[in-house]
Amino acid sequence: MLRLLLLLFIMLLPACAGRTPVPVLESAVPGAVVETISATVVLSLRTAEKNMSARGVMLYRRPDQMRLVLLSPFGTTVMEALLHGEQLTLAYPSNGVAYRGVVKELPAASGQQGFAMLHWVLASDPPEGAPLDGLVERRTERGDLEQITLKNGLVVEKELPGGEQVRYRNHTVLSGVLLPLELQMINRDGDRIRLQLEEPEVNQPIDDQSFTLLLQGLRLLPLSELKAR
Amino acid sequence: MKYVIRGILAVLIWGHAALADAASLTPLEGLDFLRRSFQGLTDFSAELTQEKHLTILKKKLVMQGVIRFKKPDRFLMELDPPYSSKVLLKDTVLEQRLGAKGERQRIVLPPEQALSRWLGTLDKPITTVPEGMEVRADQTGRQTSVTIRPAKGGHLKELTVVLLDDGTLRRLVLEEQGGDRTVMTFRKTRKNIGLTEADFRLE
């Protein structure tokens, strides 16, 4: 009996060895792209002056809409951001104030320069015809020459001549779409921003209302007047 | 940061109101009763479920954890995975760690925002309801709810506290102007249990 079990074990061993886990990334549908994301997030910011992090919710809709709500430990809203094209609105309900303007008006010392990188960061599809592994260069929508690092067909890092960097980590496949669950950004001032997606939903419909920021009761100021908090 | 302090105060003040058997209270009686009930407290702990209803999110976020408080100036809130976080306030020093691998962050609050200073204001008798504030209290069965509407213009639209008839905090509801809502439900509340400094660590 023991010999029979041993024989069975030996016979089964190669079969088991042949069943190596299929990499989850192989379940991605070729050509499928992110149209929308809805996720809870943890956002961490480290600058020379401060180190902060907060949990919140992020919505994204291709090509250029993003809404971010950051929450206090008690669940109340600390900050809201709405990015639509180049238009950025930042609202601080507890201070009764909001700021609006084009992204390039963000003051350098506002601590919010990460928003200026966001369009570039969210464009994480590999260039057409790019190799599976290696470095390629591509011209961005704003005309900068970006350097892209690919690994196993995934964009894992991008860099701009000005020193901005983004690293894409913890890729997964949701609804057939490849999605990095962690984005690590470094802006030209050396500020480090980390965005982690939790329980994301991909390519589910998001209504227009979700990309509308209610500023009722808030004093609206130009984005150029934003100060560090 | 003001939200953190206000949230802590809301939990502390209303968390331990020993409710009398009055069916209804005037606004002033309600506020003053809450203040007096807090004076007999040295520490407490409770299990917490925090539900966040965001207008932009179809599903609600449900977080579980514990809170602890010790007079005069210690407060801790720890939430479990998948939304793990830990917040520790030692008077003017706020420390926080978000996520399992999150870095510790430390913020020193200005003296006027010190927890001990805020709690010190509770020693003073309440003689008037603050201007613009609306307060109402309702009793249903074993539960009493106190709803406070702050003066107009603030981001917080309404705060509701639900207590059992033995004064145990049952629920805290924060409603914001934009329609977002946070419901905190407390269980297994234990008062004056001799919490020590070891119960207030961020590790």
Measured in whole angstroms, the distance separating CA B133 from the mean position of its chain's CA atoms is: 18
Distance of CA B152 to the CA centre of its chain: 21
Cβ-contact B191, B44 below 8 angstroms:
yes
pLDDT tens for B30-75 read: 777 677 667 777 888 999 999 999 988 888 999 999 999 998 899 9
Which residues of chain A lie closer than 8 angstroms to B87, CB-CB?
73
Please report which confidence band the pLDDT of residue A112 belongs to, taking 50, 70 and 90 as the band edges: confident
pLDDT, mean of residues A144-164: 93
Q: Identity (one letter) of the amino acid at A39?
A: A
Domain for residue B8, yes or no? yes
pLDDT at B64: 96
User: How do beta strands A165-174 and A154-159 pair?
Assistant: antiparallel
- Mean predicted confidence (pLDDT) in A78-98: 92
In a domain, B201, yes or no: no
Whether chain A has a CB inside 8 Å of the CB on B49: the answer is no
CATH code at position A115: 2.50.20.10
Q: Is the peptide bond before B82 cis (omega within 30 degrees of 0)?
A: yes
- Substitution target from B5, B48, B52, B56 for chain A, most A beta carbons within 10 A: B56
For residues B145-160, average pLDDT: 82
Please, what is the angle between helix B2-15 and helix B27-38, to 10°? 90
Interchain contact, B58 vs A38, CB within 8 Å: yes
Residue B202 is assigned to a structural domain of this protein = no
Question: Residue B183 in contact with residue B171, Cβ under 8 Å?
Answer: yes
Give the integer Cα–Cα distance in Å for B157 and A216: 13
Residue B15 lies in a domain: yes
Tokens of A180: 């990095």
In this model, does residue A217 exceed pLDDT 90? Answer: no
Sorting pLDDT into bands at 50, 70 and 90, what band is A87? very high
pLDDT tens-digit series, residues B155-191: 788 888 887 777 677 899 999 988 899 999 999 999 8
Q: Is residue A22 part of a domain?
A: no
Residue B197 covered by a domain: no
Task: Give a yes or no: residue A72 inside a domain.
Answer: yes
Q: Please check the confidence at residue A8 and state whether its pLDDT lies above 60.
A: no
Asked if residue B154 is part of any domain, the answer here is: yes
> How far, in Å, CA of A83 to CA of B17, rounded?
44
**Placement of tokens 């860099």 in the chain:** A159
Per-residue confidence band for A19, with pLDDT thresholds at 50, 70 and 90: very low
Asked if pLDDT for residue B136 goes beyond 90, the answer is: no
Q: Does B174 touch chain A (CB under 8 A)?
A: yes
- The CATH number of residue B184's host domain is 2.50.20.10
Asked whether residue B174 is assigned to any structural domain, the reply reads yes
Domain region containing A121: 31-225
Q: Identity (one letter) of the amino acid at B123?
A: D
Residue B81 lies in a domain: yes
Phi, psi of A151 (to 5 degrees): -140, 125
Lowest mean pLDDT among A119-123, A190-194, B4-8: B4-8
Q: What is the pLDDT of residues A124-139, one digit of tens each?
A: 888 888 898 999 999 9
* A window 76-115, beta carbon within 8 A of B: 76-78, 93-94, 96
Q: Which of B58, B178, B182 sits opposite A74 (nearest CB)?
A: B182
B105 interfaces chain A, CB cutoff of 8 Å = yes
More confident residue, B18 or B144: B144
pLDDT band at B86 (very low <50, low <70, confident <90, very high): very high
Q: State how many domains chain A has.
A: 1
Within-domain flag for A214: yes
Report, in this order, helix, strand and coil percent for chain A, each rounded to 5: 20, 45, 35
Decide if B105 and A94 are in contact by the 8 Å CB cutoff.
no
Query: Has residue A16 been placed in a domain?
Result: no
Average pLDDT, chain B: 81
Does residue A13 sit within a domain? no
pLDDT band at B4 (very low <50, low <70, confident <90, very high): low
Band the pLDDT of B16: cuts 50, 70, 90. Answer: very low
Segment 57-76 of chain A within 8 Å of chain B by CB: 57, 59, 67, 69, 71-76
Nearest 10 degrees: Cα torsion A71, A98, A81, A147: -130
The residue behind tokens 């779409």 is A177
Using a pLDDT cut of 90, give the percent of chain A over it. 46
Query: Up-side HSE of residue A19: CA atoms within 13 Å toward CB?
Result: 4
Say yes or no: A184 contacts chain B, CB-CB below 8 A: no
* Domains in chain B, number: 1
**What is the ipTM for the molecules in this complex?**
0.75
Domain that residue B38 falls in: 2-189
Structure tokens at A70: 């950051």
Residue A23's pLDDT is what? 45
| Mean pLDDT lowest among A53-67, B114-128, B176-190 | B114-128
- Check B155 against A76: CB less than 8 A apart: yes
Helix (H, G, I), strand (E, B) or coil at B181: strand
Strands A87-92 vs A192-202: parallel, antiparallel or unpaired: unpaired
Q: Say how far apart CA A24 and CA A28 lie, in whole Å.
A: 8
What is the three-class DSSP state of A83? strand
Strand pairing report for A97-102 and A87-92: antiparallel
